[in-house]
Structure formats: C-alpha cells, structure tokens
Amino acid sequence: MTLLDATPPKPPRKIGRYILMALAVIIIGGVAYFVLRNLPEERAVSRFLTTLENGNYPEAYRLWQPSATYTYNDFLHDWGERGDFGKIRTFKILGSQAKGHNTVVVTLTVNDQEPPRELVVDRATKGLAYAPPDF
C-alpha cells in the first residue's frame, strides 16, 4: 500500500460540540425561566406603586381591581396619604413566589418600613390584593 492508496482520514465528529451547545441553551433557558417567570406580576405591582407615588389614586384604584365590597374610600384609607404607609415615596420589590398556577405573592417594602409586606397578584388579570397571613 502506497501513500496514494491510503484511505483519507475521517472528518472529526461535531456531535460533541452540538451536545454542549444544546446543554448550554437548556441550562440558560431554565435559569431564565425561573428568574423571569414572575416578571409580569412584579411589573404590575411596580406600576401600581408608581401610580400611588405620583398621587394618581383613581388610576391606582383601577389597577388594584377591587371587589365590589372594597370601596374607593376603603382604598384611600389603606393607600392614601393618611393610610398605613403615608405618602408613597419609595418602594422596593424584594422578590416573588408563585402560589399555584394563578397566583403570585410579591414581597416588597414601602417607604423603607419593616417588616416587608406581601401583595397577591392574579396572573390572568394582574389584579392585586393583600396577602392573607400564612399564605
């Protein structure tokens, strides 16, 4: 057998490279899902608190999407300038946690008051409510 009769070498297999790329995509996608899955609900809370910060109480009441028994006066008592927090000057969303398929609990501080508070956000409507104790 001469040099010219030798079989050409097989090209290197690229399957290993594709497997690594697929694993990287799956890992990055999984991390992004867990980090960003409650982002719309956190934005709903942020929009609500920013509206309160701007003093637009009728719009904030609309964003709250209250039940028929929670009147605008009740809302002002809770969230108005003489409410539990006073005038909303600052807020910080600390995190969120899904509770079932339809509910997200968002943990936040308002006006740097401790302890942090929790609001419940409905995934479908983005309506807000107070989180019941031990929710």
The answer to whether 45 touches 106, Cβ cutoff 8 Å, is yes
Give 78-116 pLDDT, tens digit per residue: 898 888 788 889 999 999 988 888 999 999 999 888 899
Q: What is the mean pLDDT of residues 62-67?
A: 92
pLDDT class of 53 with cuts at 50, 70, 90: very high
The confidence score (pLDDT) of residue 135 equals 62
9, pLDDT greater than 80 = no
The Cα 110–Cα 88 span in angstroms is 7
The average confidence (pLDDT) of the chain is 88
Interacting residues of 117 by C-beta distance below 8 A, sequence separation 6+: 107, 108, 109, 110, 131
Amino acid (1-letter code) at residue 96: S
The confidence score (pLDDT) of residue 63 equals 94
